Amino acid sequence: MCFAITAIPIAIIGGIQGFQSQSSFLIGLIFVVTLIVSFLIAYFVTRPIEHLTKNIDKISKGKLDVHLGYSDINEINHLTDSLNRVMASLKLAVYKVGVKKGEIFEDAIKTKEAFEKRQNDLLDSINGWAWETDAKGIIKYCSKNVSAMLGYKNRDIIGQNAFDFMTPEDSKKAKQVFNDASHKKIIIKNLENWNIKNDGEKICVLTNGVPIYDDTGNLKGFRGVNTEITEEKRAIIRIKELNDELSELKKEVTDLLNEKDIKKSKSINEPIKTIKLAGEKWSEQEFESVFILNENADIIDCNENMYKKLGYSKDEILSINLSDIDALESKKDLIAKIQKTKKDGNFSFKTIHKRKDGSAILVHENLQYDKNKNELKGIIREDYSSNKTNR
């Protein structure tokens, strides 16, 4: 400003004198004088403004006893008078409500800081990490516990695109889900996606969030929480693998038991017989074990040969369910077979029974239903032809 003021008379004199070399001394003198005068004016104008600005800053912090001094500039004095009137009204209001001096702003600041601390403590204590993005997916906030999941500091996460931490296939899927949520104005619930940690390891994450809109309804971004479910996801995958393996094993055993012309071993001194096909009704004389059961597949009575062959006492065998000794059929499967038996009169199948010591027996089992007695009977014959049976 000082240089601008100085340039004005210099330009005028220069124009009058035609910038002749004889006037150079005069121009220089005027320049120096004008510069000094400009600095003096600026000093006396800006100093009261700076002083007034500092006092206003103190007032904003709750100090109502600030003295607003006057200056030689009328415009600044008018502003000072206005502020004094505002302070007088504020002091009167404070006096009437009984609030102590300084408490108004200080308490508000303390309350705000306490609320922010509680909020941050809560977000940092959850099992996962809280985040907020803009409309393009750029992370604008994330809680500190992101480091426990992804290995990054939260300051390193902020400014990055949230979808860049996902695997390419899950990133594409997640973008579509977020886009649908923003257009339909719905929450994002239990979105599974695989994230990549800073060391390259993949973890499975469950994302829950909501879209955020401004007052005009335009999308501002998203806010939510990511929770790691890697162990649970791997457990589900492993259970599926085990079920597939069990189904394959069960199929192999069934195929083995369905081989034609299974012959009885000579170890029990009986003539070789051909086992009847499933669906035929067998007599008790052709079998070694007989038992009675209820519709829940509980064993309620049996002959001596059954519990001895399985290594139990009679009391023990009568206290268990048929599924407890069946290595292939679940309780649900056996109940279904019982229902079919009640409908058709009898039902035959091949399975594996478990002894008390853990060894196994390949058997043929026939369920029969006596409608008149309302009695379910089971008769069992061991398959001696398989060399894979554990004795």
Q: Please, are residues 219 and 212 in contact by the beta-carbon 8 Å criterion?
A: yes
CATH code, residues 127-228: 3.30.450.20
Residue ranges for the chain with pLDDT beneath 70: 1-35, 37-52, 55-79, 86-126, 253, 255-287, 384-391
Torsion over CA of 28, 30, 31 and 35, rounded to 10 degrees? 150
Look at the domain 266-382 and name its fold. Beta-Lactamase (3.30.450)
Digit-coded pLDDT (tens) for 108-134: 566 556 655 665 655 565 678 889 999
CA distance 286 to 204: 57
| Per-residue pLDDT, 214 | 92
Q: Please, are residues 368 and 346 in contact by the beta-carbon 8 Å criterion?
A: yes
CA distance 152 to 117: 22
| Per-residue pLDDT, 381 | 87
| Per-residue pLDDT, 268 | 36
- Please indicate whether the domains covering 127-228 and 266-382 agree at the CATH topology level: yes
Cβ-based neighbours of 44, under 8 Å, separated by 6 or more: 72, 73
Digit-coded pLDDT (tens) for 260-292: 444 443 333 343 333 343 344 444 444 578 999
| Per-residue pLDDT, 120 | 60
Digit-coded pLDDT (tens) for 196-228: 999 999 999 999 999 999 999 999 999 999 999
Digit-coded pLDDT (tens) for 53-65: 776 666 665 566 6
CA distance 69 to 77: 9
| Per-residue pLDDT, 270 | 41
CA distance 194 to 229: 10
CA 231 to chain centre: 13
CA distance 21 to 203: 82
Q: Where are the domains of the chain?
A: 2-97, 127-228, 266-382
| Per-residue pLDDT, 44 | 56
